[in-house]
């Protein structure tokens, strides 16, 4: 089989018809059917340990309404709700948070967008993808909610996303235990050799698929002389095939249909009991081929064809015959991925299937159940009474029912009555056992507890501090949600790849209301990345509100920097739960709303200018005050120096006069000089005190008062 033949298998509803027509084709199909059944059994056996724990976990979650027969009939049969509480708590939080938004898909742009065309492209693809999830795949949200409640207990589930030719749209189905088989030695779905989904299809379903050409019509699955089959409803004791769905195995595997030694990726569906193949489809497309040219280049086939076409256009050469791909040598085929794994907690032993609360809490829950039942049974024995009578106790014994406050008269002596009856030696329920029970239950709840930070947040707690507290308490839950969001991203990427080939072009134009929109070009653009809108960091409404409060505090800074505060305001109203958000912020604002927005922007711009002018004025007034203070300081310093100089001269004259003082007249003159000196010192002290008071008053004045003290200052 050449590359051209493999290329022609792409898009065919059932390759098994082509194989049947080949020489020895039926033998190939029979051999392949046996191999699919064998691989399924090997994978199923590898999951035994994981499956046993899940089975026990499901039993532990189911509450019992009947008593046990051991150690006696009517014994306690209590089951702790720890597993149920943990699964419900996580499912509630995850479904409310991850599916909260109306639009679940967003598109990230890869690379720069200088012209803005990538942004327009991303908006178109985002709109179409959300329409696909919300309207065409009507059960997607409901199925996803069910997954979020079941996943925490079992630990691992899968979703298959394909284009359904019967419905003409993408569909995504949950595959949960026990409806799948995969080898525990698998490292990743991309490198997986086989993944099997168990399908229960009744006779009507088989005929519908045969009429549509999806399954082979000439495969006899229900012989006329057959009274029954080994379907999935044997426990219901069904007899006829029409009442009992048969088991079919749909396996994503590799098969060497052309017998050249290289296995190509296919999806093979067989009837489990007869191992007859009913369908084979290619699990690859044009982009999956990696080939080798005559020149020895190894590249994807689509890239080589694109380069050849570009080279022909640039050199005005005839367009190469792209249909003649037989000129290339096949190197490998990369399989399409249709299965998405949703895991809870990775297994510590490295096996493929993740662990859930059944694996983590199963033993603890069993311990809680056992100790609780033992305490209850011990209390029952203690309360029921009963006992033994002595051999010489001659009284016909039977049930004796005593009402509260009642005394029963007997003909037996008090001594004989006291010594002739021995009550059952049943002790009170053990306090040690009670403590062990509490410890086990506390350990189990600690493993699944979601800490409430509301008690640590007070009315005066800063928004940033409250946000940090909430985020710290939700780290574990955020990490678990992060793994689920990664899986959702993989599933959305599979939907995106399917839309590259299957999205209805006319529906695409209708959704976008753009007659020129081209679904083929938009979905085949390599500059887009499809991701969920949900974020693992947003794990509570309180956290979202606190973040909005922090953002709202930064609105003035955003406006001052020339940014757009409207998204911040919208986020705030959305996170506090406003119901009329569309009326407050319509997508197409009216002329009046546009004018109000423009006036708001103009007013904000004017306010920024006034604030800037006030800042400049304040700086100018401060500079003037500093210069005035420097001038006053210089005048004061000059007066001080003049006074000190005059005082020095007077002191020198006094010394000279004292040396020459011989008469009373000179002494009187000295007294006059001393008085003048004292007056000068007092004057100097007063100047210094006034200068200090002026400096203190100048520092305490407000800017407006300082400006008022300056002639000509602007008010």
Structure confidence at residue 414 (pLDDT): 75
Alpha helices in 408-456 (DSSP H): 414-420, 431-448
Q: Is residue 353 part of a domain?
A: yes
More confident residue, 81 or 617: 81
pLDDT at 398: 60
Residue 50 located in a structural domain? no
pLDDT of 454 reads 47
Say what the pLDDT of residue 433 is.
87
Tell me: pLDDT of 695 over 50: yes
How far is it, in rounded angstroms, from Cα 375 to Cα 372? 5
- Distance between CA atoms of 286 and 284, rounded to whole angstroms? 7
What span, in angstroms and rounded, lies between the C-alpha atoms of 567 and 537?
19
Residues 468 and 362 in one domain: yes
Determine the average pLDDT of the residues in 437-449. 79
Please tell me the least confidently modeled range out of 111-115, 345-349, 658-662: 658-662
* Residue 291 resides in a domain: no
Candidate from 247-256, 374-383, 694-703 with smallest mean pLDDT: 694-703
What phi-psi label fits residue 155: left (phi over 0), alpha (psi between -120 and 50 degrees) or beta? Answer: left
Q: Give the number of domains in the chain.
A: 2
Last residue in a domain, options 506, 537, 568: 537
Parallel/antiparallel/unpaired status of strands 421-423 and 528-532: unpaired
- Residue with the bigger pLDDT between 16 and 652: it is 16
Predicted confidence (pLDDT) per residue in 180-200, tens digit:
999 999 988 888 899 999 998
Residue that is last in its domain, among 510, 537, 564: 537
The pLDDT value given to residue 353: 95
pLDDT tens-digit readout, 51-82: 999 999 988 888 877 787 778 777 888 888 88
pLDDT in tens, 122-147: 999 999 999 999 999 988 999 999 99
Residues 480 and 360 in one domain: yes
pLDDT, greater one: 320 or 28: 28
Domain boundary among 504, 537, 570: 537
Residue 34 above 90 pLDDT?
A: yes
Both 486 and 371 in a single domain? Answer: yes
Q: How far apart are the first and last CA of the chain?
A: 93
Interval 542-562 mean pLDDT:
75
- Provide the domain limits for residue 166: 63-190+345-383+426-537
Q: What value does the mean pLDDT take over residues 445-451? A: 63
- Give pLDDT, residue 114: 83
Assign 592 a pLDDT band (cuts: 50, 70, 90). low
For residues 379 and 502, membership in a common domain is answered with yes
| Digit-coded pLDDT (tens) for 204-217 | 888 888 888 889 98
Among 594-603, 624-633, 691-700, top mean pLDDT goes to 624-633
**Residue 266 neighbours by CB under 8 Å, 6+ apart:** 15, 253, 254, 255, 257, 280, 281, 282, 283
Residue position matching structure tokens 């930064």: 554
Mean pLDDT of 626-634: 75
- Regarding whether 180 and 67 lie in a shared domain, the answer is yes
**What average pLDDT is seen over the chain?**
78
pLDDT value, residue 75: 83
pLDDT of residue 540: 55
pLDDT tens digits along 490-544 = 999 999 999 988 888 899 999 998 888 898 888 888 888 888 888 766 555 656 6
Residue 456, pLDDT above cutoff 70? no
Task: Say whether 677 sits in a helix, a strand or coil.
Answer: helix
Same domain for 171 and 87: yes
pLDDT on residue 180: 95
The residue among 362, 365, 357, 366 whose CA lies nearest residue 448 is 357
pLDDT at 644: 72
Residue 279 located in a structural domain:
no
Are 484 and 98 contacting, i.e. CB atoms less than 8 angstroms apart?
A: yes
Measured torsion, CA atoms of residues 639, 643, 644, 650, in degrees rounded to the nearest 10: 170
Q: Quick one: 366 and 476 in the same domain?
A: yes
In this structure, are 513 and 624 located in the same domain? no
Q: What is the pLDDT of residue 238?
A: 53
* Number of C-beta neighbours around residue 124 at 10 A: 20
Closest by alpha carbon to 491, among 221, 174, 277? Answer: 174
The 298-300 sheet, strands edge to edge: 298-300, 289-292, 329-333
pTM: 0.70
198 domain-assigned:
no
Is the confidence at residue 671, as pLDDT, over 90?
no
**Per-residue pLDDT at 481 exceeds 50:** yes
Examine residue 433 and state whether it is found in any structural domain, yes or no. yes
Residue 116 vs residue 496, higher pLDDT = 496
Average pLDDT over residues 150-169: 90
Residue 266's φ and ψ, nearest 5 degrees, are -140, 170
Q: Is residue 252 part of a domain?
A: no
Taking only the tens place, the pLDDT of each residue in 320-355 is 665 567 788 888 999 999 999 999 999 989 899 999
Same domain, residue pair 627 and 528? no
Residue 78: the pLDDT is 85
531 assigned to some structural domain: yes
Angstrom distance (rounded) from CA 335 to CA 251: 13
């Amino acid at each position: 089989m050449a590359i051209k033949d493999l290329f022609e298998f792409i898009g065919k509803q059932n390759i098994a018809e082509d194989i049947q027509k080949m020489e020895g084709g039926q033998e190939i199909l029979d051999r392949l059917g046996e191999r699919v059944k064998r691989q399924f059994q090997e994978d199923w056996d590898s999951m035994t340990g994981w499956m046993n724990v899940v089975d026990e976990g499901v039993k532990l979650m189911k509450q019992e309404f009947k008593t046990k027969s051991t150690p006696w009939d009517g014994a306690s049969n209590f089951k702790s709700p720890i597993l149920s509480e943990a699964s419900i708590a996580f499912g509630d939080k995850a479904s409310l948070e991850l599916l909260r938004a109306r639009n679940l898909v967003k598109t990230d742009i890869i690379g720069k967008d200088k012209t803005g065309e990538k942004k327009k492209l991303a908006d178109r693809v985002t709109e179409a993808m959300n329409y696909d999830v919300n309207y065409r795949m009507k059960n997607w949200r409901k199925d996803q909610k069910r997954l979020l409640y079941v996943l925490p207990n079992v630990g691992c589930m899968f979703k298959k996303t394909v284009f359904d030719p019967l419905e003409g749209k993408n569909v995504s189905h949950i595959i949960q235990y026990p409806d799948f088989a995969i080898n525990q030695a698998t490292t990743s779905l991309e490198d997986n050799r086989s993944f099997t989904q168990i399908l229960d299809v009744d006779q009507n379903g088989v005929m519908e698929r045969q009429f549509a050409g999806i399954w082979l019509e000439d495969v006899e699955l229900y012989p006329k002389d057959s009274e029954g089959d080994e379907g999935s409803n044997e426990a219901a004791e069904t007899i006829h095939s029409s009442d009992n769905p048969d088991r079919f195995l749909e396996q994503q595997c590799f098969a060497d249909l052309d017998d050249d030694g290289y296995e190509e990726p296919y999806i093979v569906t067989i009837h489990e009991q007869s191992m007859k193949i009913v369908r084979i489809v290619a699990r690859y497309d044009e982009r999956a081929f990696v080939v080798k040219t005559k020149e020895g280049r190894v590249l994807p086939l689509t890239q080589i064809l694109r380069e050849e076409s570009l080279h022909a256009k640039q050199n005005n050469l005839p367009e190469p015959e792209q249909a003649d791909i037989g000129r290339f040598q096949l190197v490998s085929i990369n399989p399409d991925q249709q299965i998405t794994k949703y895991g809870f907690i990775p297994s510590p032993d490295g096996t493929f299937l993740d662990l859930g609360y059944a694996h983590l809490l199963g033993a603890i829950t069993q311990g809680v159940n056992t100790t609780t039942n033992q305490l209850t049974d011990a209390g029952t024995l203690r309360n029921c009474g009963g006992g033994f009578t002595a051999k010489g106790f001659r009284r016909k014994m039977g049930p004796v029912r005593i009402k509260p406050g009642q005394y029963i008269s007997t003909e037996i002596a008090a001594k004989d009555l006291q010594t002739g009856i021995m009550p059952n030696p049943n002790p009170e329920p053990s306090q040690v056992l009670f403590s062990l029970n509490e410890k086990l239950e506390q350990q189990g709840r600690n493993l699944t507890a979601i800490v409430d930070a509301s008690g640590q947040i007070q009315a005066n707690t800063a928004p940033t501090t409250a946000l940090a507290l909430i985020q710290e308490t939700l780290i574990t839950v955020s990490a678990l949600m992060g793994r689920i969001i990664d899986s959702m991203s993989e599933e959305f990427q599979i939907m995106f790849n399917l839309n590259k080939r299957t999205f209805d072009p006319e529906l695409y134009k209708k959704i976008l209301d753009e007659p020129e929109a081209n679904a083929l070009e938009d979905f085949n653009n390599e500059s887009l990345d499809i991701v969920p809108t949900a974020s693992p960091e947003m794990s509570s409404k309180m956290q979202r509100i606190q973040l909005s409060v922090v953002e709202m505090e930064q609105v003035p800074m955003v406006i001052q920097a020339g940014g757009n505060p409207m998204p911040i305001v919208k986020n705030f109203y959305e996170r506090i739960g406003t119901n009329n958000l569309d009326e407050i912020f319509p997508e197409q604002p009216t002329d009046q709303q546009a004018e109000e927005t423009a006036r708001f922007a103009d007013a904000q711009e004017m306010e920024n200018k006034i604030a800037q002018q006030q800042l400049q004025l304040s700086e100018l007034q401060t500079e003037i005050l500093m210069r005035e203070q420097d001038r006053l300081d210089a005048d004061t310093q000059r007066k001080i120096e003049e006074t000190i100089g005059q005082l020095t001269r007077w002191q020198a004259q006094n010394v000279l006069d004292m040396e020459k003082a011989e008469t009373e007249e000179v002494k009187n003159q000295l007294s006059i000089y001393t008085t003048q000196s004292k007056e000068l010192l007092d004057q100097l002290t007063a100047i210094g005190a006034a200068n200090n008071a002026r400096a203190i008053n100048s520092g305490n004045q407000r800017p407006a008062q300082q400006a008022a003290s300056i002639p000509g200052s602007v008010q």
